[in-house]
Chain A
């Protein structure tokens, strides 16, 4: 039972927050796909993981929407990598999604805080 709930929670949370997560990570600087997946896994202490087959579709979708832009970059002594950076449009979307997320979390907190019963 717990396993099922975990999976549902995982999927729903990811669905609602995955775009916000990726946009946030690209806010500071341009990153490549593997780096993004590593940061997510590391910072969430293994709670949130993106598989290759779900991370990249997400990147491509954001790219098609014009929120991020990917470019192949060759750096000396490194292999050729595709870096994603936030576009002007993506920055606006990120600001909105952050606000929305904070309101959503605050609302959920108010509902679930035991002291309000």
Chain B
């Protein structure tokens, strides 16, 4: 190196600038100085003077400043191993990702378990969230659904809070109320469609003209009903069909509008087709005009009414106005309207029952707990692996990797696990949703709309990220805390960091057990409710009876009461005569269906109702043999074919009606006056057992049975029969028998009563299955977690166990020691879990039946089971501990 280069170099060093970075600059400056020096000498300047002059040329801070600026702008040389590289964030992340992916591939067992665990947690969360989103969060499929309000008549005195609306009252509301854009009445009605193949029953809804506009739905073909078609006194012979019906019946014929079909024995003209997305609370095939009947009794509460509030009117204003109108009507028509008022409910509230919402929230809470347990498990796994990788990490720290860097790697690892787990979880969720939809579509409204959409993916990503944060940070933080020197010198055993990690894992296991216990208690309570429910005496034979609805499609052939009564008598006779039929009857409704049950007020001579109340009862119309067929006990006598309008009138009442209105009296031979069916005194000829007709979880209502032979007979009834062999064996024979009576008789909705019972259980069963499934997964995860901790403990303590054995401890003691540790952890967890469950179970009180939210059996059995499972999970590690060979264990040191 030249003298001048040396000078430049020294100058840079003295200004704290790294000369190794500027060799090119040094060369250039040195060359310049040398030429200058040579030039001065050539001019005759003496050597000392020339050297001094040239040296002064270097004195300027500009050089130093410029070099510093250059230094900042230059890329740094490669960093030392383990130190954070100064390259861009993205490439650094990609590098970390590659590193972590390699590490995960190297331990496939660990990776698979962690990913499956995350997938379970995320998948279940996403599935349930998608259901919750579809059922509860997505707006209803109507225009501005928040302004849609369901309206009921209510009679608090009689305990009828939400009752249908009578024709005349609806007409008065619609005429007088000003707060509504539209008030709509509907009425579910099945109609018979007579074709060459015979009669088919269509599910229909009769609606007033504002029905579709109020919901904001327009027909895709044709038009809505015109005012003429729904006018009072009109024939109501137009029909709007659903898209599905259009497809099924008419192959999407574009010229459908104007076609004539025969419904209920009368020609109807198709005027429109509804869009595919049309949905209504009842599944319908057709909409028909609802022709209001102003002269029909105000006591006939039959209409389902809703309205669309004006944008400028608040719910309270509308309610106040309609309450006043109802009060006026009550004064004007005291005979029918006394005590009646109005009640509002939001559309949302009406369409999505509270019980459903409550269940979904409980299920969502349950899967959140499962996710939490899954996270704890993965955290625990990472901790255990952290212990195995302690040395690797310590070496990296010793080589200069910062704590920040170690934490960062942990975070990348967690993110990668969470990402893969979430993707797998989405697949799992999609399968789960399909399963849930196929299983519970009839039980949970809008369940079929659940799918993997952006919200679901968002949920999966979010739960994945939350999981990553939960399970990733704890072990990383633990790893970063490790003192490198300590770990390396210590042989990675028994160090303080190791103890800390063990403590943390124990705490995590306790948490896991606690969450599982809370979930198991929830599931246990639901299971107990369900078993209680199944043991409830329904009051009728739930096993062998079959039911079918039968309707007289040819209304002209049965245009009077006597003809209809005669028909139902013949039904009993013809079907009863079929070989194998044990018993047959018909009723306006049968237990466990919503069809045909309705309430009436009644007067009971000698019974003074408490102030402000009025006796009331459900009522049904039946043919002889009803109680025998359904296996309902009967005291007194049954109706006979001889109980025609010339005798009686007679009624049969239920036990609960007797208990309520004839306490300590013999009711047979006494009279009651039901308001319905003529408001005449009826003599009680029989007392029937109570029937839980609205579901086994609802108390039986006092019920009055009228004879179909004596009262205005219905055009549609439910036929019930009991046969040798049971089941659907006789369905076609019965259908043929009905056709023999009249060719245009339609039979539909053939159901075993057992099936109806199952349907009434369906939503509960759905909840029980799901919550049990989630609790089971939670339990499995907790058991795996416990097993992992204990197995690790045993392998970690092999030496200690060896010493104990060498010092004379017997193997049984060692076995008990390990089991004891595990059971101890589980017990602490179980105790905490009980606390959590005590708090959480209150939230599910509305879902319980026959058990208290603090059911002692559940609260005792669950922790006991948990501890037993904990002991089982510790069995293998304990056996391994017991078999430790002291010589080998100590020699290994």
Contacts and interface: CB of A to CB of B under 8 A. Distances in A.
A52 B63 CA distance: 8
Given A52-B29, A52-B32, A64 B70 contact: yes
Interface string B46-77: 00000000001111101101110110010000
A16 interface: no
B62 A53 contact: yes
Contacts of B63: 52-54, 56-57
Interface string A24-65: 000000000110010000000000000111101110110010
Contact of A53 (B28, B35, B57): B57
Contacts of B62: 53-54, 57-58
B33 interface: yes
Given A57-B62, A79-B31, A81-B31, A52 B70 contact: no
A54 B32 CA distance: 13
A52 B66 contact: no
Contacts of A37: 32, 36
Given A56-B28, A56-B29, A79-B31, A51 B66 contact: no
A52 B57 contact: yes
Given A34-B36, A60-B70, A61-B66, A54 B28 contact: no
A15 B334 CA distance: 106
Q: Which of B28, B31, B58, B65 has the most CB of A within 10 A?
A: B28
A98 interface: no
A34 B57 contact: no
B112 interface: no
Contacts of A57: 60, 62-63, 65-67
A52 B37 CA distance: 12
B844 to A, nearest CB: 71
B868 interface: no
Contacts of B733: none
A82 interface: yes
Given A57-B66, A61-B66, A51 B28 contact: no
B313 interface: no
A57 B58 CA distance: 11
A37 B542 CA distance: 112
Contacts of B65: 57
A51 B56 contact: yes
Contacts of B28: 33, 56, 82
B773 interface: no
Contacts of B60: 51, 53-54, 57
Interface in A47-96: 51-54, 56-58, 60-61, 64, 72, 79, 81-82
A63 to B, nearest CB: 9
A21 to B, nearest CB: 15
A53 B65 CA distance: 10
B58 A53 contact: yes
A72 B24 CA distance: 10
A82 B59 CA distance: 22
B39 to A, nearest CB: 8
Contacts of A34: 31-32, 35-36
B25 interface: yes
Interface string B3-39: 0000000000000000000001100110111011000
Nearest to B32: A34
A52 B58 contact: yes
A37 B70 CA distance: 22
A61 B68 CA distance: 12
A58 B29 CA distance: 13
Contacts of B73: 64
A72 B31 CA distance: 13
Contacts of B29: 52, 56
Nearest to A57: B66
A60 to B, nearest CB: 5
Given A51-B57, A51-B60, A61-B66, A56 B31 contact: no
Contacts of A53: 57-60, 62-63
Nearest to A70: B28
Q: Which of A53, A60, A79 has the most CB of B within 10 A?
A: A53
A58 B57 CA distance: 14
Nearest to B56: A51
A37 B35 CA distance: 11
Q: Which of B25, B35, B73 has the most CB of A within 10 A?
A: B35
Contacts of B31: 34, 79, 81
A53 B36 CA distance: 13
A82 B26 CA distance: 12
A37 B62 CA distance: 16
A54 to B, nearest CB: 5
A114 B58 CA distance: 42
A52 B35 CA distance: 11
Contacts of A79: 31
Given A51-B60, A52-B57, A53-B60, A60 B66 contact: yes
B36 A52 contact: yes
A56 B28 CA distance: 9
A82 B58 CA distance: 19
A79 B2 CA distance: 14
Nearest to A50: B57
B634 to A, nearest CB: 106
B74 to A, nearest CB: 10
Contacts of A61: 66, 69
A50 B577 CA distance: 128
A79 B32 CA distance: 12
Nearest to A37: B32
A3 B295 CA distance: 121
A51 B32 CA distance: 10
Nearest to A33: B32
B2 to A, nearest CB: 11
A98 to B, nearest CB: 24
A36 B324 CA distance: 103
B412 to A, nearest CB: 36
Nearest to B11: A53
A58 B66 CA distance: 8
Give 6 nearest A-B pairs by CB, closest first.
Answer: A57-B66, A53-B60, A53-B63, A52-B57, A51-B57, A57-B62
28 contacts: A33-B28, A34-B31, A37-B32, A37-B36, A51-B57, A51-B60, A52-B32, A52-B33, A52-B57, A52-B58, A52-B63, A53-B59, A53-B60, A53-B62, A53-B63, A54-B62, A56-B29, A56-B32, A57-B65, A60-B25, A61-B66, A61-B69, A64-B70, A64-B73, A72-B24, A81-B31, A82-B24, A82-B28
Given A52-B29, A61-B69, 20 more contacts: A33-B32, A34-B32, A34-B36, A51-B56, A51-B57, A51-B58, A51-B59, A52-B33, A53-B57, A54-B62, A54-B63, A56-B29, A57-B63, A58-B62, A60-B25, A60-B70, A64-B69, A72-B24, A79-B31, A81-B31
